[in-house]
C-alpha cells in the first residue's frame, strides 16, 4: 500500500573460524557430528571454572572492523547477559554491551552501529510428540557449539527495502570469507540473520518517527530474509490500515508457509540485567601490538568491493565481475590467466560461461592457467573457432595437454586458406539458391545463414570471418 515506508535494521551473527572456543581450549569444529564431544567444564558452566580469552577471536573481529572503516575501541570489557534457557549452560551469556570492540563503519552504503564478540549457545533439537511413541515431545541439547566465538554486527535502522538488506548481508558474507575469519555458511548455521522491521507513514521531514518494530528470527537463507521483510511489511501495513496496534515482539519465519508467526514479547536491554563480567580482565587494546589498526590494515587482503572495481576497470561485464568476486576460485583462476594473455575480456567470457559450466568439482588454479591463456590467444588469432575452443577446453579439463596439440589431433584448427574455403563457398551458394536470392534482394541477414552452412560443411574448421568475406565477394 502506498504512503508507508519500511525501516529495517539487521543483526547478523557469524561463527568465527578459530582452533578453540572463545573462553576455553575445547575444539571449535562446526563439522563435528557427534554430540557433546567438544566440551569441557568451562564451556559447560561448571562451578569454580574461569574463562580465558581467545585472542585470535578478538583479532578476527578487529579485522572486520578495520575493513568496514569502523572505529577500533581502545578500551573494552565483557558483560554478563543474564537469561535462562536450556541452551545457556551458565544461565548467562558472556557478551559485550557498553564497550564493543568496534563502533561505526559502513557497507554498501548502510551505516553500522557496532560489532562485538560473544559466546555462542548450545544447539537444541526438539522432537514432537508424534515422533516419540506417544510419550510426549522432548528436547535434546548438543553443547559442542556452546562457547564458540560469535561475532555480532548490528546496523543502524537505515535500510528501506528487502533487496537492500539482502545485498548488505551477501556482501558481508563475502567479506568474512575474504578475511578468512568465518565460513559464513547460512545452511550450516555459521551465519544467522535477524531482521528488525517497523513501518511508518512516509514524511517529508528529517525528524521522522519510526513505527513499532518486530524482530524476525529462524531465517536460514538470504532469500528467506528478503521474503520475511516483504511479508512482515505487508502484515504491519495491513494491521495499521485496520486500526490495529503493532506489538513489539519476536517473530519466527515459516519458510514453507512464507509467513512470520509470533513467538514471544520482545525483550529490552534491561531485561538481561547486564553487568561487567568479573572473571575476565578489561582490555586496553592499544597496549597489545597485534591489535593496532596499522598492523591490522597491513594484513588485510584485497577486499570484495576492491576486487569488483578492479575487474570492472579491466572492462569485464558486471555479471562476470560479480561471479569472480563471489566465486573466489574462479576469480583467482582468472587473475592467473590474465598474467599470461592480453585477451582478458575474452578469457573472462570463457571462464564465466564455458569453464564454469564444465566444472563438476573444485579445481587447482595452479594448473591449467597457462594452457587456458594459450587457448584464448588461439581464439583471438583466428586459429580456432568459438565452437572449436569449447571442444578443446573440454578435452583440457578431462585429460589435460596443450591446446594446440589437442586442436591438431582433433582436427579443430581453423582453416583460413581462401583457396580451400572458396570451394566450400561455391557449394553453399549452389545448394541454397532461394537464400542467395533473398540476400541479393536486400535481406542481408541471410548472409549469416550461408556462413552457418559453410561452417557446417567445413565441420567447424572454417574461419567464419574469411567465409563471410568470400561469400560477400561472390554474391556482390
Contact 419, 441 (CB under 8 A): no
User: CB burial class (10 A; 0-12, 13-18, 19+) of residue 47?
Assistant: exposed
How far is the C-alpha of 450 from the C-alpha of 22, rounded, in Å? 69
Task: List, in sequence order, every residue forming a beta bridge with 127; answer none if it has no partner.
Answer: 138
Report the interhelical angle of 55-67 vs 162-178 (nearest 10°). 130
Point out the least confidently predicted range of 83-97, 277-291, 303-317. 83-97
pLDDT of the residue at 437: 86
- Within a 13 Å sphere around the CA of 73, how many CA atoms are in the beta-carbon half? 22
pLDDT of the residue at 451: 82
Q: How do beta strands 191-201 and 71-72 pair? A: unpaired
pLDDT of the residue at 430: 85
pLDDT of the residue at 294: 94
Residue 202: CB atoms within 10 A of its CB come to 9
Per-position DSSP letters for 422-448, written without gaps between them: HHHHHHHHHH-HHHHHHHHTT-TTHHH
How far is the C-alpha of 215 from the C-alpha of 203, rounded, in Å? 23
DSSP class of residue 351? Answer: I
Label residue 364 by pLDDT band (50, 70, 90): low
Q: Which CATH architecture has domain 418-475?
A: Orthogonal Bundle (1.10)
What residues contact residue 319 under an 8 Å CB cut-off, 6+ apart?
352
Q: Is the pLDDT of residue 455 over 90?
A: no
What residues contact residue 128 under an 8 Å CB cut-off, 6+ apart?
137
Label residue 205 by pLDDT band (50, 70, 90): very low
Residue 101 CA: distances (Å) to CA of 92, 119, 283: 20, 14, 10
Name the nearest CA neighbour of 148 among 76, 250, 40: 40
How far is the C-alpha of 396 from the C-alpha of 392, rounded, in Å? 6
Residue 75 CA: distances (Å) to CA of 61, 234, 268, 304: 15, 43, 25, 30
3-state SS assignment for residue 38: coil
Average pLDDT of the residues of the chain: 90
Task: Locate 66 and state its grid cell.
Answer: 578495520
How do the residues of the chain divide into helix, strand and coil, expressed in percent and rounded to 5?
40, 20, 40
Q: Is the pLDDT of residue 76 over 80?
A: yes
Contact 195, 183 (CB under 8 A): no
How far is the C-alpha of 423 from the C-alpha of 450, rounded, in Å? 14
- The average pLDDT across 160-185 equals 97
Q: Is the pLDDT of residue 27 over 60?
A: yes
Q: Which tens digits make up the pLDDT trace of 111-161?
A: 999 999 999 999 988 776 555 555 667 889 999 999 999 999 999 999 999
Q: How do beta strands 4-15 and 191-201 pair? A: antiparallel
Name the nearest CA neighbour of 161 among 225, 103, 70: 225
How far is the C-alpha of 95 from the C-alpha of 87, rounded, in Å? 15
Phi, psi (degrees; rounded to nearest 5) at 33:
-100, -20
What residues contact residue 89 under an 8 Å CB cut-off, 6+ apart?
43, 44, 45, 122, 143, 146
Q: Is the pLDDT of residue 361 over 70?
A: no
Percent of the chain past pLDDT 90, that is, above it, reads 66
Q: Which residue has the higher pLDDT, 418 or 387?
A: 387
Name the nearest CA neighbour of 192 among 228, 211, 219: 219
Intra-chain end-to-end CA distance of the chain, in Å: 62
Name the nearest CA neighbour of 393 among 451, 352, 362, 339: 352
pLDDT of the residue at 167: 97
Task: Locate 59 and state its grid cell.
Answer: 583479532
Name the nearest CA neighbour of 31 among 124, 125, 119, 148: 148
Domain ranges within the chain, ordered by starting residue: 4-296, 304-409, 418-475
Which residue's entry shows cell 533473398? 438
- The average pLDDT across 72-78 equals 95
Report the interhelical angle of 418-431 vs 464-475 (nearest 10°). 60
Q: Which residue has the higher pLDDT, 42 or 365?
A: 42
Amino acid at each position: 500500500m502506498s504512503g508507508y515506508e519500511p525501516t529495517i535494521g539487521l543483526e547478523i551473527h557469524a561463527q568465527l573460524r578459530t582452533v578453540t572456543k572463545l573462553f576455553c581450549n575445547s575444539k571449535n569444529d562446526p563439522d563435528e557430528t557427534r554430540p557433546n564431544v567438544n566440551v569441557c567444564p568451562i564451556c559447560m558452566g561448571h562451578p569454580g571454572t574461569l574463562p580465558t580469552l581467545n585472542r585470535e577471536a578478538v583479532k578476527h573481529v578487529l579485522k572486520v572492523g578495520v575493513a568496514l572503516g569502523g572505529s577500533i575501541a581502545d578500551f573494552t570489557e565483557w558483560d554478563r547477559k543474564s537469561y535462562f534457557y536450556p541452551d545457556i549452560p551458565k544461565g548467562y551469556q558472556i557478551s559485550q554491551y557498553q564497550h564493543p570492540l568496534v563502533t561505526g563503519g559502513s557497507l554498501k552504503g548502510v551505516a553500522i552501529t557496532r560489532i562485538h564478540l560473544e559466546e555462542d549457545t548450545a544447539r537444541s533439537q526438539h522432537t514432537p510428540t508424534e515422533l516419540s511413541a506417544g510419550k510426549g515431545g522432548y528436547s535434546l541439547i548438543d553443547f559442542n557449539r556452546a562457547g564458540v566465538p560469535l561475532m555480532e554486527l548490528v546496523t543502524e535502522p537505515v535500510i528501506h527495502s528487502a533487496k537492500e538488506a539482502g545485498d548488505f548481508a551477501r556482501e558481508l558474507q563475502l567479506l568474512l570469507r575474504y578475511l578468512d575469519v568465518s565460513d559464513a555458511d547460512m545452511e550450516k548455521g555459521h551465519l544467522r540473520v535477524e531482521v528488525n522491521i517497523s513501518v511508518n507513514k512516509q514524511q517529508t521531514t528529517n525528524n521522522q518517527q519510526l513505527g513499532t518494530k518486530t524482530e524476525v528470527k529462524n531465517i536460514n537463507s538470504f532469500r528467506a530474509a528478503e521474503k520475511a521483510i516483504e511479508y512482515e511489511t505487508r502484515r504491519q501495513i495491513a494491521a495499521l490500515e485496520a486500526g490495529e496496534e503493532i506489538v513489539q515482539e519476536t517473530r519466527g519465519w515459516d519458510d514453507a508457509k512464507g509467513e512470520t508467526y509470533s513467538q514471544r514479547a520482545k525483550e529490552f536491554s534491561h531485561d538481561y540485567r547486564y553487568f561487567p563480567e568479573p572473571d575476565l580482565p578489561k582490555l586496553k587494546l592499544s597496549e597489545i601490538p597485534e591489535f593496532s589498526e596499522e598492523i591490522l590494515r597491513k594484513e588485510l587482503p584485497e577486499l570484495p568491493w576492491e576486487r569488483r572495481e578492479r575487474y570492472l576497470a579491466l572492462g569485464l561485464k558486471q555479471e562476470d565481475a560479480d561471479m569472480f568476486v563471489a566465486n573466489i576460485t574462479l576469480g583467482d583462476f582468472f587473475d592467473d590467466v590474465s598474467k599470461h594473455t592480453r585477451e582478458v575480456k575474452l578469457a573472462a567470457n570463457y571462464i564465466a560461461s564455458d569453464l564454469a559450466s564444465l566444472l563438476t568439482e573444485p579445481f587447482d588454479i595452479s594448473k591449467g592457467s597457462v594452457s587456458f591463456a594459450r587457448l584464448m590467444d588461439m581464439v583471438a588469432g583466428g586459429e580456432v573457432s568459438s565452437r572449436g575452443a569449447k571442444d578443446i577446453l573440454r578435452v583440457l579439463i578431462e585429460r589435460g595437454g596443450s591446446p594446440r596439440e589437442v586442436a591438431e589431433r582433433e582436427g579443430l584448427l581453423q582453416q583460413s586458406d581462401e583457396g580451400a574455403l572458396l570451394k566450400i563457398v561455391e557449394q553453399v551458394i549452389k545448394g541454397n539458391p532461394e537464400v542467395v536470392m533473398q540476400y541479393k534482394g536486400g535481406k542481408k541477414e541471410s548472409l549469416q545463414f550461408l556462413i552457418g552452412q559453410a561452417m557446417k560443411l567445413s565441420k567447424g574448421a572454417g574461419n567464419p570471418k574469411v567465409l563471410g568475406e568470400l561469400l560477400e565477394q561472390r554474391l556482390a
